Amino acid sequence: MRVRWITLVMILVTCVVLIGMKENHERDAKADSRFGFLGNAEDNSRQMLDSGKQIFRFDTFGDQAFWGDLLQLHRAINGLSPRNALALGLKVDADALSPSTVEAIKHGKVNLDDPAVTRSLIKQKAVLGVVGFFDKNSDQLRSVGLTCAVCHSTVNDSVASGIGSRIDGLANRDLNVGAIIAAAPNLTPVQQLLQIVHPGITADQIKQVLHTWGPGKFDAELFLDGKTVQPGGRSAATLIPNARGLAGHNLHTWTGGWGSIPYWNAFVAVDEMHGVGTFFDERFDDATQFPIAAQAQLGHVSTDPDRIRSPASCLRCSSISWRCRQ
């Protein structure tokens, strides 16, 4: 009898537990149906991460209108060999290539002196941060744009020097930004800006300044104040910063003078990279400190549509959380 009573009690307890679980499940189902529009947190995070990667790696924000259409940089790239591209610090993502191509590179069977190979690598989206726009009837570039990854991604050199798996977010300290800009066939837009404070400056003089930057450096203020050197006479170019490992860092520069990381991203995307977007900073109206920016109204840039602050832009929280909070 005692065993029967124990068995009965266990059955009753089991029934109560099952009924409770069913009720909880039904409540959860109702809650899910009420708030289903929010989506699943894990799925949302994954989508944000994937979106941020795509934006960071491949979105030019329309800056090909400057680098390609105005500076004509693609004309220089059309004749650029892979060997010279690597010497300029450009990196190749081996994971974007076929296994056979990777093996050919490892065994020296790819002609690194053939510009057609460079164009092919760009077409395969294997050159970090470089997006090519090609003629329909040939393999020639008709324009070129640059993305965040050109300065803020590198590779692990697993295949060869400058060729390997990409490492997003780390600054490319081999990239010779000045030499790449100096190679552009048409520096007239740059010349027009610098002539505000340096009347009569020539393209050759601009190239001399650009070549003083050296690998891994960029002078973000040159096109604001026109100053090419520091007070001590050294180049005013500074190291390209990392774009990851910044969790807890809310100010981009060590003095905090420029503002938050999202501010800096907007400034670089619009005023430095010449993406199609909007940027406001009344501090640039100070003609004493920023004579070029004041005259060129670089603190009052507005475009419609705004490709940088649009729902698919680099300044979305999806990309910010991926780039800056890793």
Side chain identity at residue 190, one-letter code: V
Residue 43 lies in a domain: no
Looking at residue 17, what is its pLDDT? 47
CB 71 within 8 A of CB 187: yes
User: What pLDDT is recorded for position 14?
Assistant: 59
Report residue 262's pLDDT band, with 50, 70 and 90 as the boundaries: confident
Residue 86 has what pLDDT? 98
Query: Residue 183: inside a domain, yes or no?
Result: yes
Condensed to tens digits (0 to 9), the pLDDT of residues 215-234 reads 999 999 999 999 999 888 99
The mean per-residue pLDDT over the stretch 265-273 comes to 92
pLDDT band at 318 (very low <50, low <70, confident <90, very high): very low
The residue with greater pLDDT, 243 or 122, is 122
Under a CB-based contact definition with an 8 Å cutoff, are residues 318 and 262 in contact?
no
Is pLDDT at 325 greater than 80 in this prediction? no
Of 98, 119, 95, whose CA–CA distance to 167 is shortest? 95
Q: What local confidence, expressed as pLDDT, does residue 312 receive?
A: 53
| pLDDT band of 171, cuts 50, 70, 90 | very high
What DSSP designation does 273 have? S
User: Does residue 206 contact residue 191 with C-beta atoms inside 8 Å?
Assistant: yes
Other C-beta atoms within 10 Å of 184: how many?
23
- Whether 25 shows a pLDDT value over 70: the answer reads no
Compute CA 157 distance to the chain's CA centroid, rounded to the nearest angstrom: 20
Looking at residue 322, what is its pLDDT?
39
In this predicted model, what pLDDT tens digit does every residue of 205-216 receive, in sequence order?
A: 999 999 999 999
Alpha-helical (H) ranges within the chain are: 2-34, 41-58, 64, 73-78, 82-87, 99-106, 115-123, 149-152, 177-182, 188-194, 203-211, 222-225, 261-267, 291-296, 317-324
What average pLDDT score do residues 303-323 get?
A: 58
Q: Is residue 33 part of a domain?
A: no
Total domains present in the chain: 1
289 closest CA partner among 226, 238, 201 = 226
Distance CA 250, CA 85 (A): 35
Across the range 308-313, mean pLDDT stands at 63
Say if CB 122 and CB 64 are below 8 A apart. Answer: no
- Domain assignment present for 21: no
Q: In the structure, what pLDDT confidence band is assigned to residue 1 with cuts at 50, 70 and 90?
A: low
Output the pLDDT for position 61.
95
**pLDDT higher at 121 or 15:** 121
Lowest mean pLDDT among 1-5, 83-87, 178-182, 299-303: 1-5
User: What pLDDT score was predicted for residue 19?
Assistant: 54
Query: Is the confidence at residue 31, as pLDDT, over 80?
Result: no
Q: Tell me if 143 sits within 8 A of 64, measured CB to CB.
A: yes
What average pLDDT does this structure show over 97-119?
97
Tell me the backbone φ, ψ of residue 38, rounded to 5 degrees: -75, -20
Give the per-residue pLDDT at 305. Answer: 85
- Average pLDDT of the segment spanning 27-53: 71
Whether 29 is in a domain gets the answer: no
The answer to whether residue 40 is domain-embedded is no
Domain assignment of residue 293, given as a range: 56-324
Average pLDDT, the chain: 86
Query: What are the structure tokens assigned to 90, written together?
Result: 């450009």
Residue 254 has pLDDT above 70, yes or no: no
Q: Taking 50 as the threshold, does the pLDDT of residue 79 lie above it?
A: yes
Cβ atoms < 10 Å from Cβ of 288? 7
Residue 293: what pLDDT? 97
Contact 206, 194 (CB under 8 A): yes
Kindly state whether residue 61 falls inside one of the protein's structural domains.
yes
pLDDT digits (tens, 9 = 90+) for 47-58: 888 888 999 999
Q: Report percent pLDDT > 70 for the chain.
A: 80
User: For residues 297 and 248, which has the higher predicted lDDT (pLDDT)?
Assistant: 297
User: Does 246 reside within a domain?
Assistant: yes
